[in-house]
Amino acid sequence: MIKFFRKIRQNLLSEGKTGKYLKYAIGEIILVVIGILIALQINSWNDERLNSVKEYTFLNELSKSIESDIVYFQKQDSIRTAYESNSDKALLMFYDAKNYNDLLLVDSLFTFQWGDWEISRSVYEEMLNTGSLYTLKNDKLKDKIANYYTLIESRVYALKKINDVSIKLSENTVLYQLELLRNSNGAYNGKLKDAWIGDPNSSEFMSLYKFYRFTNSNCNTYRRMFGAQILKRGNELLEELNNELNLSK
């Protein structure tokens, strides 16, 4: 093709047709420019197609991850409901306790500490690391994704602080001291005073009561409330993700 155009130019020059040569040269330049623009447009279309495929893949994987979170928090909500019920019963039993054995039964109904939430962040982290989150076309969806994981981070931090306070409070209770005795010699030796049991005026009674009350209203109730917030936000995000995926099909 190049040789063909070159031959035409040479013939025009040899025939002295300078004006036609210039017009032809300009036309040839225009054709080259148009060819380059078409090639760039095709390349742009191809890049856009690949980016759309990549975005769809990420959003599809993120949708599955959020679905897993929702199932997890639904189960956790049922568990927390049972723990709250047990804690309420334990507080009532605490007032009627007569000895250490009664208190140990009360103690067994409480859940003082919670493990970390089992939330997968792998897809979200990959979207952050590759910059894919910031190139999403749907700004509303982008904000919902960021807000969902920001909410989780803030609630995890808050629960850690609550757990830290719970641990400090537990160290001031006689049952904590009893547990230390058990760990040191394998059995309760019966030498701990128990006159304070059932006496709201005693410091031992009040320290244990405050610990139980804090545990019931914070470690259990707040965790359930935080989980409900994340569950609500997760359902909203999942709906937005599914809408976007359906539009992209």
pLDDT digits (tens, 9 = 90+) for 164-198: 887 887 777 777 776 665 555 545 555 567 788 88
Residue written as token pair 């036309």: 27
Mean pLDDT on 215-230: 82
Q: How many C-beta neighbours within 10 Å does residue 83 have?
A: 21
Tell me how far apart the alpha carbons of residues 219 and 211 are, in angstroms, rounded to a whole number: 11
Pick from 127, 131, 156: nearest CA to 223: 156
More confident residue, 78 or 239: 239
Mean pLDDT on 5-24: 53
Q: Helix/strand/coil (H, E, C) string of the chain?
A: CHHHHHHHHHHHHHCCCHHHHHHHHHHHHHHHHHHHHHHHHHHHHHHHHHHHHHHHHHHHHHHHHHHHHHHHHHHHHHHHHHHHHHHHHHHHHHHHCCCHHHHHHHHHCCCCCCCCCCCCCHHHHHHHHHCCCCCCCCHHHHHHHHHHHHHHHHHHHHHHHHHHHHHHHHCCCHHHHHHHHHHHHCCCCCCCCCCCCCCCCCHHHHHHHHHHHHHHHHHHHHHHHHHHHHHHHHHHHHHHHHHHHHHHC
More confident residue, 159 or 188: 159
| Structure token pair of residue 166 | 């719970």
Asked, for residue 230, whether it belongs to a domain, the answer is yes
Crossing angle for the helix pair 203-214 and 174-185, to the nearest 10 degrees: 90
pLDDT of residue 163: 81
Asked, for residue 22, whether it belongs to a domain, the answer is no
Tell me how far apart the alpha carbons of residues 132 and 141 are, in angstroms, rounded to a whole number: 13
Assess contact for 166 and 210: CB atoms under 8 A.
no
More confident residue, 4 or 48: 48
> Of 46-50, 59-63, 203-207, where does mean pLDDT reach its minimum?
46-50
Asked, for residue 76, whether it belongs to a domain, the answer is yes
Tell me how far apart the alpha carbons of residues 231 and 224 are, in angstroms, rounded to a whole number: 10
Averaged pLDDT score across all residues of the chain:
78
Asked, for residue 122, whether it belongs to a domain, the answer is yes
pLDDT of residue 12: 47
pLDDT of residue 178: 67
Show the domain range for 176: 52-248
More confident residue, 248 or 232: 232
Asked, for residue 40, whether it belongs to a domain, the answer is no
Mean pLDDT on 38-56: 68
pLDDT digits (tens, 9 = 90+) for 97-134: 888 888 888 888 776 656 678 888 899 999 999 888 88
What is the number of structural domains in the chain? Answer: 1
Asked, for residue 199, whether it belongs to a domain, the answer is yes
